[in-house]
Amino acid sequence: MKDIHTFLCSAAESTQRHGPHDRIVMSSRVRLARNLREFSFPGWAKKPERVKVLETVLPAVSALPEMSDSFAEAMDNLTALDKQLLVERHLISREHAAKSVGSGLVVNRAETFSVMINEEDHLRMQALRPGFQTREAWQAVDKFDSALEKKLNFAFDNELGYLTACPTNIGTGIRVSAMLHLPGLVLSEQINPIVQSVNKLGLAVRGLYGEGTEALGNVFQVSNQMTLGESETVIVERLEKVLSQIIEHEENARQTLMEKKPKVVFNHIGRAYGILANAHSISSKETMNLLSFLRLGVDMDLFPGTQRSLVDELFLMTQPAHLQKQLSDKLSAEERDLVRADMVRERLKNVNRPVVKPSGSAAN
């Protein structure tokens, strides 16, 4: 059996994947929910039925050209650490990480496609892209789905569309989402009204790991909620419009902050650097929140010579499973805080204190 740790590329390599507007849009994804006509939904099906679905779906998915270099495994063959690692990479949901017998996963090495089998639905297939590429992600997953429907008999109703375990996903079964880094809107206290107006448009704003999670590191997930009564293209286009507006607001907020309250910005970034570069014990939550300001500092040219990918790598590497993965012994949370701080200090050794007067174009 393949080992997911060695199968996936390193955190450093994964941060080398770039896309349009990736200083604000960290990634885009489109997921489709599908079910097999003849079987009960995973939450209601008995174990033998779930196993049968897994045995039907897993080979069909693995055989697709997009999955020629893929990791395909039953969830009960993965350790808790494997699953947590997959969650931190956003390849599976936290709900799926809790699954065992009868559930499975297929993910390709490029991490552009991931299929959860027997999560809430028989299939949750998603296309992932770096940066702002929701349309590309939709086209990719659409093609993927069309190839799969030739092999699998999807539950579809002429009136209601694709049938899903939860009525909230029925119809297109689509969820279009983007992960946004919005420190400017948070610092300028504009985030709440923006979240509210986005909600009014029927879109959801969630935290880093989706449903029911907090916005660690000023990272927010924006996604559609309604799936019935509108076509996929209409849904994708609406999200694109809203995302473009949020990007604009974030850019404006950053610029305004630098003009009107430069001290607030320098203070946050300077303190974040100070703690990260000097701490000897730090939690993953604090690390993420401080790295967000370091990232903002890089975007604002306050750390000349430092790449954003270094921050993004640390963002991933300091999360519990990624950290534990590099160590031979199983550590407690307290011990991990020490190791985490050591690692961050080491990686920031060659990063100089933030400059106060920003150099280059970000100055105006």
Q: Does 273 bind other proteins (CB under 8 A)?
A: no
CB of 231 to other proteins, least distance (A): 4
Could you give the CA distance from residue 142 to residue 138 in angstroms, rounded to a whole number? 6
Distance of alpha carbon 75 from alpha carbon 82, whole angstroms: 10
The span from the CA of 186 to the CA of 258, in Å, is 14
Size of site (CB under 8 A) for other proteins: 41
Closer to other proteins by Cβ: residue 196 or 267:
196
Could you give the CA distance from residue 344 to residue 36 in angstroms, rounded to a whole number?
47
From CA 179, how far away is CA 177, in angstroms rounded?
7
The answer to the question of residue 40 lying near other proteins (CB under 8 A) is yes
206 DSSP β-pair partners: 221
- Does 159 contact other proteins by CB under 8 A? yes
Region from 166-174, 259-267, 298-306, 349-357 binding other proteins, contact rule CB under 8 A: 166-174
* CA angle at 78 for the pair 74 and 79, rounded to the nearest 5°: 160
Please, where are the H alpha helices in 24-133?
47-62, 80-88, 94-97
Q: Residues 16, 192, 197, 231: which binds other proteins (CB under 8 A)?
A: 231
Q: How far is the CB of 121 from other proteins (least distance, A)?
A: 9
170 lies in the binding site for other proteins (CB under 8 A):
yes
**Class of residue 132 by CB neighbours under 10 A (exposed 0-12, middle 13-18, buried 19+):** buried
Q: Work out whether 158 is an interface residue with other proteins (CB under 8 A).
A: yes
Stretch that binds other proteins, among 36-44, 87-95, 99-107, 339-347 (CB under 8 A): 36-44
Task: Note whether 157 binds other proteins by CB under 8 A.
Answer: yes
Residues 111-150 binding other proteins (CB under 8 A) are 120, 142, 145-146, 149-150
Nearest distance from C-beta of residue 364 to other proteins, angstroms: 43
Kindly write down the DSSP assignment for every residue of 10-32, as one continuous string: PHHHHTT---TTTTTEEEEEEEE
Rounded least distance, CB 211 to other proteins, Å:
13
Does the footprint of other proteins cover residue 47 (CB under 8 A)? no
Shortest reach from residue 175's CB to other proteins, in Å: 13
DSSP of 311-324, one letter per residue?
A: HHHHHHHTSHHHHH
- Token pair for residue 109? 């090495």
**Is residue 171 involved in binding other proteins (CB under 8 A)?**
yes
Does residue number 13 form part of the binding site for other proteins (CB under 8 A)?
no
Query: How far, in Å, CA of 276 to CA of 286, rounded?
Result: 9
55 vs 230 by CB, closer to other proteins: 230
The CA-CA-CA angle for residues 207, 212, 218, to 5°, reads 15
Measured from the CB atom, the residue of 170 and 194 that comes closer to other proteins is: 170
Q: Which residues bind other proteins (CB under 8 A)?
A: 35, 37, 39-41, 43-44, 120, 142, 145-146, 149-150, 154-163, 165-168, 170-172, 174, 202, 226-234
